[in-house]
């Protein structure tokens, strides 16, 4: 977080890194420093981002809700891994998701829950902070 969030936050240097971790090797990997313009907006995407120790870093929080089985199947389509949520190779992700939902309740921490279980019919569920377009449906 020190290489991206803090420099782009209030009073930050605007010097940031786009890479700090390589998920393929499960190890640190640091990209060269870049500088953001003064009017930059950071859109940060990832899993487990609504944990208590991170929640205050985000001005606006969107949680993409996808069933674990759907997420594992989409990952398999993307990278050729197993589509079986019970496969040994998927256990770290599946068990991590279970723990995250129990301990962090990310849906309750988000301003918007984006239900993306059905790509053809995604739904936005607003907490009331921003008015939805036409019944929360995404077009």
For 11: left if phi > 0, alpha if psi spans -120 to 50, otherwise beta; the answer is left
pLDDT bucket at 1, cuts 50 / 70 / 90: low
DSSP class per residue in 22-74: ETTTTEE--PPPEE--TT-------SSTTSTTTGGG-SS-EEEE--HHHHHHH
* 63, HSE (Cβ side, Cα atoms, 13 Å): 23
> pTM score > 0.85 for this model?
no
For residue range 65-100, list pLDDT tens digits in order. 999 999 999 999 999 999 999 999 999 999 999 999
Question: What pLDDT shows up at residue 78?
Answer: 92
For residue range 24-40, list pLDDT tens digits in order. 888 888 889 999 999 88
Range 94-109 average pLDDT:
95
pLDDT bucket at 139, cuts 50 / 70 / 90: very low
Question: What pLDDT shows up at residue 64?
Answer: 94
């Amino acid at each position: 977080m020190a290489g991206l969030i803090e420099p782009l936050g209030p009073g930050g240097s605007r010097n940031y890194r786009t890479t700090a971790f390589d998920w393929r090797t499960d190890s640190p990997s640091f990209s060269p420093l870049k500088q953001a313009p003064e009017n930059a907006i950071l859109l940060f995407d990832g899993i487990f981002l609504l944990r208590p120790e991170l929640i205050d870093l985000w001005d606006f929080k969107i949680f993409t809700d996808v069933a674990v089985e759907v997420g594992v199947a989409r990952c398999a389509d993307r990278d050729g891994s197993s589509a079986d949520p019970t496969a040994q190779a998927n256990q770290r992700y599946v068990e991590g998701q279970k723990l995250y939902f129990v301990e962090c309740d990310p849906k309750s921490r988000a301003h918007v829950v984006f239900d993306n279980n059905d790509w053809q019919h995604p739904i936005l569920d607003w907490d009331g902070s921003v008015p939805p377009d036409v019944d929360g449906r995404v077009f």
